């Protein structure tokens, strides 16, 4: 210590620069993590394309990150150098009213590691030790990046409270849709109905426990969902596709008393939306934001116990020095990949 860390910095939309950054020895309650793998997702694509107006450049992206502890501050006891870790990227202030009530994911001063705070597209990152969660030694660090996404999915499903025997529809079978499908099946939901227009994603959904895999667009799936639920409608609909049109049909798919998770975030206005179906069927719309620190350990456990299958989510791997190439490839085929991984161990 100190180290120099090669870092992929976004200096303007669609423009990367590889720079060297000095990393000082960790503060007493911090660790320095030698990054192994960073998965990039739609949030990163939005940052890359300039969709976030108030960003301060340069931005160092990367919030789905695993690595190995390189150094620890003197107060750190839960990890030691050499330990594999995954980073909880939801940075909270610790002193606002919501943090004080243990609602860190809703922190009034929240930032995302990899957007407001420099993230993991680098060789080394300093971070408060509480954000570094130990991983089992046998877990592959590239596949392990998906645990961050799993924690956000678990957070949403904990809020939905899915019970055995309930019918669950998952609209969209990208990374989050597939994880929702798996987790719903694991909760004993039956049937779990997966909807996608992409055959290989539906095949993956079936492998991950979907009882029915519908190759149809969501707006045309209502009659099939009704048929598969004995004309009752579903107890739970989870929308991982987002968009105004999907919200209306998702509500139509629900049985009276049903719960809707509008999991995917969309800026589209819902022009045709009326509150009448909410009244008539007494529907609950249950929002969820990111993940809570307490979602991390159980998500790691779900994977280490083999209850959640994380194979097949990495569609391609690029070395850190080829970050720009990775993002160009991702932007050109956003629906054709699940996650691209940037490997910081390979320059």
In the complex, the smallest distance separating the C-beta of residue 41 from Zn ion, rounded to whole angstroms, is 3
Q: What is the distance between the alpha carbons of residues 48 and 43, in angstroms, rounded to a whole number?
A: 9
In the complex, the smallest distance separating the C-beta of residue 206 from Zn ion, rounded to whole angstroms, is 25
Among 61, 107, 153, 228, binds Zn ion (CB under 5 A): 107
In the complex, the smallest distance separating the C-beta of residue 42 from Zn ion, rounded to whole angstroms, is 7
Q: Which is nearer to Zn ion, 151 or 251 (CB)?
A: 151
Q: Which is nearer to Zn ion, 96 or 139 (CB)?
A: 96
Q: Which is nearer to Zn ion, 135 or 179 (CB)?
A: 179
**Gap between the terminal Cα atoms of the chain:** 20
Q: Which is nearer to Zn ion, 103 or 226 (CB)?
A: 103
Q: Does 189 bind Zn ion (CB under 5 A)?
A: no
Question: Considering only residues 229-258, where is the footprint of Zn ion by CB under 5 A?
Answer: none
Q: Which is nearer to Zn ion, 149 or 229 (CB)?
A: 149
Q: Does 128 bind Zn ion (CB under 5 A)?
A: no
Cα diameter, the chain: 65
In the complex, the smallest distance separating the C-beta of residue 112 from Zn ion, rounded to whole angstroms, is 9
Task: Give yes or no for a contact between 194 and 212, defined as CB atoms under 8 angstroms apart.
Answer: yes
Task: Give yes or no for a contact between 133 and 86, defined as CB atoms under 8 angstroms apart.
Answer: yes
Among 93, 270, 286, 324, binds Zn ion (CB under 5 A): 93
Q: Which is nearer to Zn ion, 190 or 294 (CB)?
A: 294
Tell me whether residue 260 is exposed, middle or buried, using C-beta atoms within 10 angstroms of its C-beta: 0 to 12, 13 to 18, 19 or more: buried
In the complex, the smallest distance separating the C-beta of residue 211 from Zn ion, rounded to whole angstroms, is 28
For residue 9, what are the β-bridge partners? 17
Q: What is the distance between the alpha carbons of residues 91 and 105, in angstroms, rounded to a whole number?
A: 8
Q: Does 96 bind Zn ion (CB under 5 A)?
A: yes
Positive or negative CA dihedral for 193, 316, 263, 310?
positive
Q: What is the distance between the alpha carbons of residues 177 and 118, in angstroms, rounded to a whole number?
A: 28
Among 99, 214, 308, 342, binds Zn ion (CB under 5 A): 99
Task: Give yes or no for a contact between 345 and 318, defined as CB atoms under 8 angstroms apart.
Answer: no
- Count interface residues toward Zn ion (CB under 5 A): 7
In the complex, the smallest distance separating the C-beta of residue 198 from Zn ion, rounded to whole angstroms, is 20
Question: Considering only residues 23-52, where is the footprint of Zn ion by CB under 5 A?
Answer: 41, 43
Q: Which is nearer to Zn ion, 7 or 43 (CB)?
A: 43
Q: Got the DSSP string for 128-157?
A: EGGGEEE--TTS-HHHHTHHHHHHHHHHHH
Question: Considering only residues 153-182, where is the footprint of Zn ion by CB under 5 A?
Answer: none
Q: What is the distance between the alpha carbons of residues 253 and 193, in angstroms, rounded to a whole number?
A: 11
Q: What is the distance between the alpha carbons of residues 345 and 347, in angstroms, rounded to a whole number?
A: 6
Footprint of Zn ion (CB under 5 A):
41, 43, 92-93, 96, 99, 107
């Amino acid at each position: 210590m100190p180290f120099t860390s090669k870092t992929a910095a976004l200096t303007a939309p669609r423009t990367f620069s590889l720079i060297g950054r000095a990393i000082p020895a960790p503060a007493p309650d911090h660790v320095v993590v030698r990054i192994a793998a960073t998965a990039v997702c739609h949030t990163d694509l939005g940052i890359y394309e300039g969709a976030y107006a108030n960003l301060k450049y340069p931005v160092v992206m990367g919030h789905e990150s695993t690595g190995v502890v390189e150094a620890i501050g003197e107060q750190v006891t839960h990890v030691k150098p050499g330990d594999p870790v995954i980073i909880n990227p939801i940075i909270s202030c610790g002193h606002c009213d919501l943090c004080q009530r243990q609602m860190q994911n809703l922190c009034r001063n929240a930032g995302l590691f990899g957007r407001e705070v420099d993230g993991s597209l680098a060789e080394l990152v300093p971070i408060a030790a509480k954000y570094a969660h130990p991983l089992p030694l046998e877990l592959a660090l590239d596949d392990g990046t998906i645990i961050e996404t799993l924690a956000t999915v678990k957070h949403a499903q904990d809020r939905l409270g899915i019970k055995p025997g309930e019918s669950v529809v998952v609209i969209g079978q990208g990374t989050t849709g597939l994880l929702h499908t798996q987790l719903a099946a694991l909760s004993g939901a039956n049937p779990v109905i997966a909807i996608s227009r992409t055959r290989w994603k539906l095949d993956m959904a079936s492998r991950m426990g979907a009882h029915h895999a519908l190759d149809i667009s969501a707006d045309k799936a209502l009659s099939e969902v009704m048929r598969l639920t004995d004309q009752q409608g579903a107890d739970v609909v989870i929308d991982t596709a987002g968009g105004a049109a999907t919200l209306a049909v998702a509500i139509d798919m629900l049985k009276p008393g049903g719960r809707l998770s509008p999991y995917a975030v969309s800026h589209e206005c819902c022009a045709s939306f009326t509150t009448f179906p909410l009244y008539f069927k007494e529907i609950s719309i249950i929002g969820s934001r990111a993940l809570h620190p307490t979602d991390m350990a159980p998500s790691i456990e779900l994977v280490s116990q083999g209850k959640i299958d994380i194979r097949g989510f990495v569609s391609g791997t690029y070395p850190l020095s080829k970050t720009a190439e990775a993002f160009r490839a991702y932007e050109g085929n956003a629906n054709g990949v699940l996650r691209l991984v940037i490997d910081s161990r390979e320059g």
